């Protein structure tokens, strides 16, 4: 019974923490611009994410290693410093976007400009990391994200054509705006397969002292949690396709209108809650993972459940990145534009993070008999390589087109 409850809680928190600024913005813009045509991108990205998350949990359970410290140990400090540097830069930008999204959520709820809420959102993120525990961050905050299921309810109330929705699972290319279509497909992949999720998941498994006997439960949590989260993400795209079709989405205030037809006057406050809880939860996870990755790379003690005074350098990292991210968004950068840029760039650097991880997952010194099979390797490498190739083409074309 205890094992069942652990699996159920893992599925719920994984699903609840899925929807944040990147997922919402990319899905909403994709639905508004191309209706259901990009649902296949969410499906493909989810398959890749499920595989990577399951691998990271299996690595932690079988070897007590996180992805970051395994790569450092296997390839050496100089090699592993490259993906770490790339992840720090990109995740700091994404963290800034998450803080901006949380500030916009409060603006939607209060009508007070978002500029007043960025620093309070940053302070709340820091304070909870400083005083909280890993369990509180993973379970408590993520459970608030269950409000995002309102998008699934909205789809039911909007009742779009099932055949039209299903057709979006088969890739098809528009006759016009091909560069924008490619950029949105790439951005969806970047928003879904965020590098921080992989190491954060493994670090949490190490903190919770997973063992090889937890590997089957890990597989269930990865598949069901990420799978259900993907359904919610797809629901955002479908709602946007129905309500905002043809609209050039440039702000989250426009995205909030997707919930007005199904929920009336409660639509905007409900979207504000979804955006706020999702962004706040993601900001906590990203800041904590940056501290995890830096400490694991540099050989420091680390752990969210240990008092900051005992792991001062670990706490200093998340304090510094939160401060930098807050300054980035306070400077006036639009959170939606920052999100789209960050998601596309994430796909470009994914190969230097994913490929060393694949090597680790095939090394018996780390995973023993729990290594990858050829199908899993081929699938993850294929999706990652195709995404990077698409990003190399789509980003310049979109810049030139703009």
**Sign of the CA dihedral with 199 first, then 119, 23, and 29 last:** negative
Residues 83 and 352: beta-carbon distance below 8 Å = yes
pLDDT tens track of the chain, all 402 residues? 445 445 555 555 555 556 788 899 999 999 999 999 999 999 998 988 888 889 899 999 998 888 888 889 888 888 888 888 888 888 899 999 999 999 999 999 998 888 899 999 999 999 999 987 777 776 666 677 788 889 999 999 999 999 999 999 998 888 878 888 888 888 888 888 887 888 888 888 888 888 889 888 888 888 888 888 899 999 999 999 999 998 988 888 999 999 999 999 999 999 999 999 989 988 998 999 999 999 988 888 888 777 887 888 989 999 999 999 999 998 888 887 888 778 777 877 788 888 888 888 888 888 888 888 887 788 778 877 777 777 777 667 656 555
> Rounded to 5 degrees, what angle do the CA atoms 40, 251, 29 make?
15
pLDDT at 1: 42
Q: What is the spatial distance between Cα 247 and Cα 256, in angstroms, rounded to a whole number?
A: 13
pLDDT at 10: 56
pLDDT at 126: 95
The packing angle between helices 178-192 and 21-34, to 10°, is: 150
Q: Which two tokens stand for residue 12?
A: 């719920």
pLDDT at 158: 94
pLDDT at 357: 85
Residues 37 and 217: beta-carbon distance below 8 Å = no
Say what the pTM is.
0.90
Residue 144 neighbours by CB distance under 10 Å:
17
pLDDT at 147: 87
Residue 268 neighbours by CB distance under 10 Å:
17
Q: What is the spatial distance between Cα 142 and Cα 15, in angstroms, rounded to a whole number?
A: 8
**Taking Cα atoms as reference points, which of 41, 357, 350, 334 lies closest to residue 169?**
41
* Ranges assigned E (strand) in 179-291: none
pLDDT at 11: 56
DSSP letter (8 states) at residue 136:
I
Residue 127 neighbours by CB distance under 10 Å:
10
Domains of the chain: 2-401 (1.20.1740.10)
Residues 92 and 317: beta-carbon distance below 8 Å = no
Q: What is the spatial distance between Cα 174 and Cα 34, in angstroms, rounded to a whole number?
A: 8
């Amino acid at each position: 019974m205890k094992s069942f409850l652990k699996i159920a809680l893992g599925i719920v928190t994984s699903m609840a923490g899925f929807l944040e600024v990147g997922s919402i913005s990319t899905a909403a813009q994709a639905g508004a611009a191309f209706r259901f045509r990009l649902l296949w991108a969410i499906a493909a990205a989810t398959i890749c994410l499920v595989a990577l998350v399951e691998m990271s949990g299996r690595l932690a359970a079988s070897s007590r290693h996180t992805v970051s410290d395994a790569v450092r140990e296997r390839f050496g400090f100089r090699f592993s410093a490259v993906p770490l540097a790339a992840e720090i830069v990109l995740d700091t930008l994404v963290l800034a976007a998450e803080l901006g999204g949380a500030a916009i959520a409060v603006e939607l709820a209060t009508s007070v400009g978002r500029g007043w809420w960025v620093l309070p959102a940053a302070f709340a993120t820091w304070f909870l990391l400083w005083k909280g525990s890993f369990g509180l961050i993973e379970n408590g905050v993520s459970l608030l994200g269950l409000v995002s299921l309102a998008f699934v309810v909205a789809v039911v109330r909007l009742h779009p054509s099932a055949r039209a929705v299903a057709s979006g699972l088969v890739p098809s290319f528009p006759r016009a705006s091909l560069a924008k279509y490619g950029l949105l497909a790439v951005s969806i992949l970047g928003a879904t397969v965020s590098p921080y999720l992989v190491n954060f998941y493994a670090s949490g498994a190490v903190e919770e002292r997973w063992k090889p006997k937890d590997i089957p439960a890990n597989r269930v949590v990865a598949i069901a949690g990420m799978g259900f989260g993907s359904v919610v993400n797809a629901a955002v795209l479908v709602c946007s396709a129905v309500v905002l079709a043809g609209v050039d989405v440039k702000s989250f205030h426009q995205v909030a209108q997707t919930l007005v037809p199904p929920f009336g006057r409660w639509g905007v406050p409900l979207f504000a809650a979804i955006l706020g809880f999702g962004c706040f939860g993601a900001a906590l996870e990203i800041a904590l993972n940056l501290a995890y990755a830096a400490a694991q790379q540099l050989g420091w003690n680390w752990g969210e459940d240990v008092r900051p005074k005992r792991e001062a350098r670990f706490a200093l990292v998340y304090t510094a990145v939160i401060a930098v991210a807050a300054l980035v968004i306070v400077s006036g950068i639009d959170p939606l534009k920052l999100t789209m840029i960050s998601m596309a760039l994430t796909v470009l650097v994914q190969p230097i993070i994913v490929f060393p991880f694949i090597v680790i997952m095939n090394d018996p010194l780390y995973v023993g008999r729990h290594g990858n099979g050829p199908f899993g390797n081929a699938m993850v490498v294929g999706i990652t390589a195709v995404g990077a190739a698409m990003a190399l083409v789509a980003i310049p074309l979109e810049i030139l087109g703009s």
